[in-house]
A and B are shown apart, each in its own frame.
Chain A
Amino acid sequence: EVQLVESGGGLVKPGGSLRLSCAASGFTFSNVWMSWVRQAPGKGLEWVGRIQSNGDGGTTEYAAPVKGSFTISRDDSKNTLYLQMNSLKTEDTAVYYCTTMSPALNYWGQGTLVIVSS
């Protein structure tokens, strides 16, 4: 059974940093492209970025609002996806989901809540 479990969310002040993790199981993580999607409270879905499998080059792409502030990485030895978030703004407050990409977003974690507030 595919499982994606996000962690690392919490309350952070504007300008602060946070690193989210997504532990994957039930599939061959190293072969799969992964992405992060966020959802602000009461709002719709917004794609944050993605990382290719290392076999496909391991490159990353980001949505314009987070480019230069967020970094996606992966550790295939730990079956874990990361999202490093720097220079956080109040508008980054959201539930952050990790997903597989094939290329639709076929599996989703339960999400982790990030609140950016002073």
Chain B
Amino acid sequence: DIVMTQSPESLAVSLGERATINCKSSQSVLYSSNNKNYLGWYQQKPGQPPKLLIYWASTRESGVPDRFSGSGSGTDFTLSISSLQAEDVAVYYCQQYYSTPPTFGQGTKVEIK
């Protein structure tokens, strides 16, 4: 199974500042035949189901604010929130869907400083 490792486990950021979450996979999730990274990012607010933010490592899901961006390729990925808002307090997960079983990172809790 591909192991997904996120860092940090938690971070506290001031309102309006940038938050950066890293995700590393134990093997590449880049599919060479289509040059796509099989990597998604999810946001889970307390008491709610997860919500897909980013797929193919960098494509924002419809309706997701453009302050959220994804980058990276191969085994190293980043989710950035350019200007943290109060409503962004949540746990964020990366997930690979390159191979079965799809696996998630352990989650990163984002709070307001």
Q: Do A44 and B107 touch across chains, with their CB atoms under 8 A apart?
A: yes
Contact B102 A47 (CB under 8 A): yes
- Tell me if A61 and B106 are in contact (CB < 8 A): no
Q: Interface digits, B46-65 against A, CB 8 Å rule (1 contact, 0 not)?
A: 00111110011000010000
Partner of B95, one of A97, A105, A109: A105
Please determine whether A44 and B49 come into contact, CB atoms closer than 8 angstroms: no
Contact with A along B62-86 (1 / 0, CB 8 A): 0000000000000000000000000
Q: Is A103 an interface residue (CB 8 A)?
A: yes
A-B contacts, CB under 8 A, total = 53
Instruction: Return chain A residues, CB-CB under 8 Å to B105.
Output: 44
Contact A103 B93 (CB under 8 A): no
Taking the closest CB of chain A, its distance from the CB of B31, in whole angstroms, is 11
8 Å CB contacts to B: which residues of A83-111?
A: 97, 101, 103-111
Q: Which residues of A contact B (CB under 8 A)?
A: 35, 37, 44-47, 50, 61, 63-64, 97, 101, 103-111
Pick the 7 closest A-B CB pairs, nearest first: A104-B55, A108-B49, A104-B40, A45-B104, A103-B97, A47-B102, A106-B52
Q: Which B residues lie at the A interface, using CB under 8 A?
A: 38, 40, 42, 44, 48-52, 55-56, 61, 93, 95, 97, 100-107
